[in-house]
Structure formats: C-alpha cells, structure tokens
Chains A and B, each alone.
Chain A
Amino acid sequence: MEREEAFEVLEHPADVGFRAFGETLAELFENSALALLSIRAEMDRVEAREEYAVEAEATDLEALLVNWLNEILYLVDARAIALRRVRVDAIEDTHVRSTGIGEPFDSSRHRLRVIVKAVTWHQLKIVHTNESWVAEVFLDV
C-alpha cells in the first residue's frame, strides 16, 4: 500500500492528536516524531546541522512509543533544540535507538506553534496489518 502522507491530525475537544503511518515499525516511529514536531513548531527553516541521540525503553510497544516521543519532547523543550526529524537507528518492541537532526533553537528564525506539555497515554493505539503500521496518539497542549 502506497501512502503519500506521513500522518494526519486528529481532532480532540481540548487537545490535539495524530494518526501516523509507516510501512515498517521504524517508519511509523519516524512519522510519529514528525507529527509531534510539526504540531509543535514551524519546521521549514530548521537546518540539519547537528545530531542528538534519543533512546527509550518500555515493557511494551505502545509504552515504547509514548516514552520515546516524550524523550523527544524533553530534548526540544528542556534543551531548546529545533528538530527537523528523528531517524530511527535500531528498534525492537521494548527498545529504540535514534538520532534527532536539527540545530539549537534560534528565536530569530524558528517559530513555535504551541507548547506541547506532554504525549499522553489516552486512547493510545498501534495497529499492525499485513502491509502497514498505524499509530494514534494524543498530545496535551
């Protein structure tokens, strides 16, 4: 199945969510990160100048996705980093190793859309069919 889009934004009465797609688990994670980053900030002027290691663990796959996205959020929020994307280097059901690509936040070029407080566990879903992966995640903004 060929899919053009990496993710779509889901409506929520107070917050916001996304449905991400991927042909592989790695791609699903990468597209989920892309959804989180682009809901949070305008990304067209973020340059790929530096790399940042992001790693996460969990007891199951859904928890792994939430923990990993929260790791990315910690990196961009606490360390003030603007990311273009996150590349998954290695992934299993309980462990993911990845690299964030971007540069330090610079308010003269980078713009936030909204501060994302956290990635939630609410109605969290990962579905694997024969040909693809789909994840649904809600964010607290």
Chain B
Amino acid sequence: MADFHLHRVNETRWQIPRDERRGMRTHVVIYASDALMEHIRKDLSLEQGINVATLPGIVGPSLAMPDIHQGYGFPIGGVAATDMDYGVVSPGGVGFDINCGVRLVRTSLAEADVRPRLRDLINQIFRDVPCGTGGAGFVKIDREGLKRLLVDGARWMVRNGYGFARDAEFAEAGGALEGADPDAVSDRAKERGQPQLGTLGSGNHFLEVQFVDEVHDEEAARTLGLSKDQVVVLIHSGSRGLGHQVCTDYVAEMNKVMKKYNITLPDRQLACAPIRSEEGQRYLGAMAAAANFAWANRQGITHFLRGAFRRIFDDDTRLELVYDVCHNIAKRETHEVEGRKHAVLVHRKGATRAFPPGHREIPGDYREVGQPVFIPGSMGTASWVLTGAEGAMRETFGSVCHGAGRLLSRTAVRKGKDARQEQKKLEEAGILVRSETRDGILEELPEAYKNVDEVIEVVHQAGLARKVARLRPMGVIKG
C-alpha cells in the first residue's frame, strides 16, 4: 500500500496533502480522470510527485499533468516552481534532454495531394533528415560557430542559410533563451553535440507527416493557419548529445556540492543547488545554451524536411512554422501566487508552457487566441493542437501536459511482437513507418501509450488549454 492519502477534489483534480513526516513542503495536485488515475497509480509517479514537493524553496503545489508517468527522480509530466531568491534549481527537474520539444510545420498541400506520393515522400524524408546514429556531421559549423549558436539558437541557423527569419520568431522565446553561457558548457558536451546538430535522435523522438482530421475551434485554427485535411508535419526532438552531457555533468556536480548547502533528498537524481549559488547559476547558463542548441537542432531538421518536400512536390510547396514549444526546461517567470506577484523558476519536466490569450510573450499574430501547444500522441493514433487558457495561469504556472504518457514499459510492449509485422499492420491503417532501428518501432507502438484524447479531455475540461484541432498521422520517421 502506498503511504500517502490521495483524494479527489473534483472531476479533473486530485490532491495529496502535505505530509511533514515525508519532508513535504507543499501538497501535490494531479490533473486526471478516473480512468487515467487508475493507470497513474500503477507506477511510482505519485511517489515522485511527493519527492518533488520536498524541494527547498518550492512555491505553490507540486503539479502533475494527466500524462504523468514514472521518470527518474522527477516524474515525467511534472511542474514545480521554486523561489528565485531562496529556491533551488535541479538539473534532473529539467531532464537529460534539455529543451526536448515539438514544432508544427504547416504545408500548402492537402491530404489528397500527398497520399498518392506518400511512400516516395517518407523515403525521401528518411534519407534527408538524419537520425544521427552514425556520428557524421550534417550542419556545417566549427567550434567558434557553435559558441555563437549556443547564444543565438535558431537565429544562428537562419543567419547561416538553414531557414527563414519567421522560423525563429515563431519559436518559444524567439528560438533563443537569454542568459546562455557557452563557457559553462563543457568541451565534452560541445564535442558530443556538434556532429549531431540537425538530427532527430531515437527513443520517442520522431518526425510525423499528418493531416488535420478535426477542427474544434475554427477561429483559432484559422489564426494558426490550419484547416481541415491540410497536411502538417510534427517534429519531436531535443538538444541531442550536447544537452545530455550538460545534464550529466551538472547532476554529478550537484551531487558533490549538496552537502555544502545542507540539502538531503530521497533520490540522488533530484540533486539540486540554490538558484543563487555559483553552481546553480552556471547550470542555468549551460541549460539555456543547451536549450538554444535544441531550437537550432529542430531548425536544422526543418531545413532538411523542406528539401525533401521540394524533391517530391514542386518548388512552390510552402512549409511554414506554426510554432515551436519546449517541454523540458526551467524558466524564469513571474506568476501570481496567493494574490502577489512572485519571481519563480518554473521547472517543466515533460510539461508544456501554455500562456493564455493576450500574453505578451506570444507572437502578435497569435496573441488573441493564446499560445499554441502541440501534444503528440502515439504513432498510430492522433496528436493535438491546443491553445493556452487562463486556468493554466491561475493554477499551473502557465503549464499543461506534453504527450499521451507511457503505459507499458519498453520491454513489456515488445514482448512476442515482430517489427515487420507491426509495420505492416500500421501500413494497413494508412500509416507508413520508417525507422533506423527495429527497437524504434516496437518500443513505441501505439499500445505503449495512454489514449491521448483522454489526456486532452482532462486539460480542456480543467481549463488549462483549449482544443483547436486533432491531427492524424500518415507517415512516421523514427530514430
């Protein structure tokens, strides 16, 4: 039996009250339906939500989104804000894939244009968008250029011919976080990341050609340039080896210095240091640099993607960025807490920023409808376009879920299955899949994930975000 009290607050909210015996400094709030809670209770995600509630300087509750599942240290699908003056920063609370995120690219093509040439298109994208498992470089860049890219993010890519100015403008934070410190990024991290710039990676990363299946909010969809049957491309990737190494370096460092700051935690992966400490500041500088690398990385992928579309369709085919959001990040933001403005560091670990209409950080074209949010589902089901809503600002530090959430472990889902057969089954359902690795298909099968529609229903009902459109996959590239 789990050693905590979980009670239901209303249709979409649950709570675990603060328990001092467990070192909790605050309570835990979970957004979930009955059905989703049944899944959530099966793994350690609630325990991990409690661990997050022990972090020094946590402001407001430890928050869990409906797609929450067990991570390492922090749960995936968790949000925690810490006080800028006396709170901590935890590299594990951001994760090894710093600024893992998704971007949606809209095309000037309709499903009927693409369907007859889908196989050629998917094969072309598979050739042109590298997964990055081989170690060769794809974006021409030297060490000096990399240092500049770590400060300028997507803008460096645009300046060097890998995109258009609009691409950077329509990314969260303009495609470059302020405060990046390339010198806080180790040489090893730079060496590991440089040849991987512009590559997809593996695991749950993917590139999906999809079409708009349902429009739920006509006005918002029009504002985002989306309409029924239009073909779009969803790209899910992060900061590759550069970000992984930054996190590795700083979790190790913080494990060394925690004693100095009198911090003890229930799991070493939660290792943290005061935001104001030298270690905290260096990490934040390195994290911002890695986040910028991730935006540049997704920009590189977008560039290669455009090339692939042009080879299959004519030169007039337009591919425009709708928006780009990160879901593994810690950001300095100001939020209202108990009626007062509070400067906090919002850790989003598998959670997406979802600012409501009118927020000044949303590009002018979209400001009236709210910040676009993209929620990828599994490769056989659906993905969603949402916009941020006021509830997120009131309750979740402007955050919402990031995916469907895993249901089955990698070993459990592949048991007794054959990659080629599964690929055929998906093909019969109208979804072509190409993968660099066999495991890439088997471990990411649709049954490994919760039902994304159920997750979306909860955040929509809870008023954290609004449904705009549902997207269905036609072709998937996996690492």
Indicate if the CB atoms of A105 and B73 lie closer than 8 Å.
no
A121 at the interface (CB under 8 A from B): yes
Stretch from B27-35, B64-72, B162-170, B371-379 at the A interface? B64-72
Question: How distant is the Cα of A77 from the Cα of B479 in the complex, in angstroms?
Answer: 15
Q: How far is the CB of B190 from chain A (nearest CB, A)?
A: 9
Question: How distant is the Cα of A11 from the Cα of B251 in the complex, in angstroms?
Answer: 23
A138 at the interface (CB under 8 A from B): yes
Q: Count the B residues whose beta carbon is within 8 Å of the partner chain — how many?
A: 50
Indicate if the CB atoms of A12 and B269 lie closer than 8 Å.
no
Q: How far is the CB of B403 from chain A (nearest CB, A)?
A: 11
Question: How distant is the Cα of A117 from the Cα of B271 in the complex, in angstroms?
Answer: 18
Q: How far is the CB of B114 from chain A (nearest CB, A)?
A: 29
Question: How distant is the Cα of A41 from the Cα of B203 in the complex, in angstroms?
Answer: 13
Which residues of A, 99-140, contact B by the 8 Å Cβ criterion? 105, 107, 111-115, 117-124, 138, 140
Q: How far is the CB of B92 from chain A (nearest CB, A)?
A: 8
Q: How far is the CB of B44 from chain A (nearest CB, A)?
A: 8
Question: How distant is the Cα of A113 from the Cα of B197 in the complex, in angstroms?
Answer: 20
Indicate if the CB atoms of B96 and A122 lie closer than 8 Å.
no
B57 at the interface (CB under 8 A from A): no
Query: Given the complex, which residues of A lie within 8 Å of B45, measured CB to CB?
Result: 13
Indicate if the CB atoms of B410 and A80 lie closer than 8 Å.
no
Question: How distant is the Cα of A120 from the Cα of B256 in the complex, in angstroms?
Answer: 15
Which residue from chain B places its CB closest to the CB of A66 in the assembled complex?
Answer: B252
Number of interchain pairs (Cβ within 8 Å)? 121
Question: How distant is the Cα of A14 from the Cα of B407 in the complex, in angstroms?
Answer: 8
Indicate if the CB atoms of B202 and A114 lie closer than 8 Å.
yes
Q: How far is the CB of B205 from chain A (nearest CB, A)?
A: 9
Question: How distant is the Cα of A13 from the Cα of B411 in the complex, in angstroms?
Answer: 9
Indicate if the CB atoms of B248 and A118 lie closer than 8 Å.
yes
Q: How far is the CB of B68 from chain A (nearest CB, A)?
A: 10
Indicate if the CB atoms of B203 and A107 lie closer than 8 Å.
no
Indicate if the CB atoms of B203 and A114 lie closer than 8 Å.
yes
Query: Given the complex, which residues of A lie within 8 Å of B95, measured CB to CB?
Result: 140
Which residue from chain A places its CB closest to the CB of B249 in the assembled complex?
Answer: A70
Indicate if the CB atoms of A121 and B188 lie closer than 8 Å.
no
B2 at the interface (CB under 8 A from A): no
Indicate if the CB atoms of A141 and B247 lie closer than 8 Å.
no
Query: Given the complex, which residues of B lie within 8 Å of A79, measured CB to CB?
Result: 135, 191
Query: Given the complex, which residues of B lie within 8 Å of A11, measured CB to CB?
Result: 409, 411-412
Which residue from chain A places its CB closest to the CB of B201 in the assembled complex?
Answer: A115
As a 0/1 sequence over residues 67 to 99 of chain A, the CB contacts with chain B under 8 angstroms (1 = contact) are: 100100010011110000000000000000000
Indicate if the CB atoms of A120 and B201 lie closer than 8 Å.
no
Contact A121:B271 (CB < 8 A) given known A11-B412, A16-B411, A74-B188: yes
3 A-B pairs closest in CB distance: A80-B135, A122-B72, A78-B192
Jot down 16 A-B pairs with beta carbons below 8 A, ordered by A: A11-B409, A12-B70, A13-B406, A14-B76, A15-B410, A112-B436, A114-B202, A114-B203, A115-B132, A115-B479, A117-B97, A117-B244, A120-B73, A121-B271, A123-B72, A141-B410
Known: A66-B252, A141-B202. 16 other contacts (CB 8 A): A12-B72, A12-B409, A13-B43, A15-B410, A70-B252, A74-B245, A105-B135, A107-B133, A115-B133, A115-B201, A115-B203, A117-B203, A117-B244, A118-B247, A121-B255, A140-B96
